[in-house]
Amino acid sequence: MYYIGIDVGGTNLVAGLVNEKGHILDKVNHPVDKTMTAVEFCEELARMSRKLCEMGAMDYSQIQAVGVGLPGLVDNKNGLFVQNPNMPFSDRNVPLREIFQKHWDIPVFLSNDANCAAVGEYWAGAAKGCDPAVVVTLGTGIGGGLVANGKLFTGYANSGMEVGHMVIKPNGILCGCGNRGCWETYGSATALIRLTQAEMEYTKDSVMWELCEGDRFKVQGRTAFQGARLGDPAAKRVLNTYLHGLSIGIINLINILQPEIICLGGGISNAEDDLLLDPLRQLVDEGTFDKSNPTRLEKASLGNDAGVVGAALLCHMM
């Protein structure tokens, strides 16, 4: 049997033909243009899925299910793309499954992108064989997904595991969600960039100014890691502060869930171990309640493919 998984981003749609091992056999892309309506979007997903089938010379009956990973709130029970902050259309409760099935009558499963990444890593990546498994994606915000007892945990109405919005500091930094002190305002790539810029304003002789050609708007998530590699004290201070904030959320997840593994994904996770994972493991070890049964902390291994693989295999996880 084969599956089709679609990873929906704000600028690009990626669909993949996936086998039961979680290997991607073929892929197609389609850009999201600014005039795309909600209906056109759903129809494009169906068109891409059929195209994959044709490219692989498959009979439609060889595909068990289609899964879609969406950047926003999702209602899988009713097949709705509830709300999104990043798509060109702002319609609420888009009947994605219904529109898709008008073009291809096949089981369609919906979830959010962070949950799909968790399923992908659990099925074919760094979390394979681990249960419970948590995957945390460090990007613009912080996304999270949990697999427990072989199933995706999403709460009673699909909004579970919004780990980025766990509050780690009372009266802390204002978050996009309206609360203060959310984990993602301390542990996301956006947070790291903000910390880096603030430290640079304070330390005019930091090598990080050279790394971004004197332009603070060119600061990236990797700037502080590059600076620390060059021995820059300001960059090391930035990473200390950042890793401390990042560790608090991880410690909370471990103390509440005791997962067998937590995988870190997203661009930040590409940093070298001695600057990211090693110091983070030390902070987490110190702060975890049950020190005799540690949770493994690892990098996610599928990169951008995790979303496609996880979406494809959603049918086994819900």
Residues that bind Zn ion (CB under 5 A): 165, 175, 177, 179, 182
CA separation for the pair 189, 287 (Å, rounded): 23
Order the strands of the 151-153 sheet from edge to edge. 151-153, 142-148, 133-138, 261-265, 296-299
CA separation for the pair 184, 163 (Å, rounded): 8
> Angle at the Cα of 104 (from 103 to 108), degrees rounded to 5?
115
Indicate the DSSP class of residue 232: -
Which residues does residue 65 pair with via DSSP β-bridges, in sequence order?
3
Q: How far is the CB of 123 from Zn ion (least distance, A)?
A: 29
Comparison of 46 and 175: residue with beta carbon closer to Zn ion: 175
Report DSSP letters for 121-169, one per residue. Answer: HHHHSTTTT-SSEEEEEESSSEEEEEEETTEEE--TTS-TT-GGGSB-S
Query: Residue 24: helix, strand or coil by DSSP?
Result: strand
